[in-house]
Amino acid sequence: MRLMTLIVAVALVGATPAAAEFPERRPIRVLTPYGAGGGIDIAARILSAVGERHVGTRVEVVNMPGAGGMNAMVFVHNAEPDGHTLVISDYGPLVTLPLRERTPYDADDWVPLFQVTEIAPTLVVRPDFPDPTFEGWRQRAIEKQGRMHVTHGAYMSSSPLPLLRLEQISDIRTNHVPTLGGGETLQFLLASIVEMAITNSSSIASSVQAGRVIPLAVPTAERVPELPDTPTFTELGYDVVMPVWYTIFASAKVPEYRREILAERIEAAYASEEARQMARRANIYLRPLSGDALHEVYVETVQTVTETIQALDE
């Protein structure tokens, strides 16, 4: 009996040599194309905090900002495709950047492993806006004939793209004032410098609760849990679905079985009670997605972003 067990064990080990070797003992590096302290960084640090137990080796977060995110992407693209170098990002550096500039990679060179969360770039106005609904805003924007000030992040970042898309498929026109990001965007709105702002759903949740800003619409497929009363553009009759996801990617050159192991283990890590507790504390609404469903989301994002940017160039 004992001999039998031994034979079976030896056979099993022999049959799955690759699975036993991966991940190796050295750490897995997850690069972020942004600096420390942002939403993507915090999402990655949750994995780093609980990773070792679930992934099988230490997970280190490396912030590599610069060149619009290209530095980190090129680093991961050029790294040994052994599954020990991954990247967590929104779609900007992966999809938008290759459409705008010559990059050594394009959107097809990446395979999504696991979506950590999904964020809605939300249209918000102040409570003193004459008719603080999407329809009221649309009417006023049309009346003002392109002279209504609206604010959002840099031109090609993920916050103005849903509005650009909306303007492409409707008669709405506005005067876009770009900012460096969420903090400045919110300040411009609260200081009455602009009439409308587009900013991340999670960062304005507390301001919405306090009644300081009123959300008008979100560009997601379904309503988002942090703003349950805010309609989607689809509900309002506009085909604008451009959520921002924070997803962990591997280079497509990484062997498939390694990607599968990683996806499975990263999912388990984020599903742990400890990770969920950390996410709750950091106000990150975990929206786990993997496998075919995630792949589909990625393909759709690539398509919509490509269409929007090509239409801009025309």
Stretch that binds another protein, among 1-9, 39-47, 227-235, 237-245 (CB under 8 A): 39-47
Question: In angstroms, what is the minimal distance from the CB of 175 to another protein?
Answer: 7
Contact between 179 and another protein per CB under 8 A: yes
In whole angstroms, give the CA distance from residue 70 to residue 68.
6
Contact between 41 and another protein per CB under 8 A: yes
Question: In angstroms, what is the minimal distance from the CB of 208 to another protein?
Answer: 11
Choosing from 22, 56, 57, 67, the residue that interacts with another protein (CB under 8 A) is 67
152 versus 259: smaller Cβ distance to another protein: 152
In whole angstroms, give the CA distance from residue 115 to residue 244.
11
Contact between 303 and another protein per CB under 8 A: no
Contact pattern for another protein over residues 211 through 230, marking x by CB under 8 A: -x------------------
Question: In angstroms, what is the minimal distance from the CB of 159 to another protein?
Answer: 12
Contact between 180 and another protein per CB under 8 A: yes
Question: In angstroms, what is the minimal distance from the CB of 254 to another protein?
Answer: 22
Contact between 71 and another protein per CB under 8 A: yes
Stretch that binds another protein, among 6-14, 125-133, 179-187, 259-267 (CB under 8 A): 179-187
Contact between 278 and another protein per CB under 8 A: yes
Q: Based on the number of CB atoms within 10 Å of its own CB, is 15 exposed (0-12), middle (13-18) or buried (19 or more)? A: exposed
Number of residues in contact with another protein under rule CB under 8 A: 55
In whole angstroms, give the CA distance from residue 267 to residue 112.
12
Question: In angstroms, what is the minimal distance from the CB of 245 to another protein?
Answer: 19
Contact between 65 and another protein per CB under 8 A: yes
Binding residues among 93-132 for another protein as defined by CB under 8 A: 100-101
* Binding site residues, another protein, CB under 8 A: 35-38, 41-42, 45-46, 48-49, 61-68, 70-71, 74, 100-101, 147, 149, 154-156, 175-180, 183-184, 186-188, 190-191, 193-194, 203, 205-207, 209-210, 212, 278, 280-283
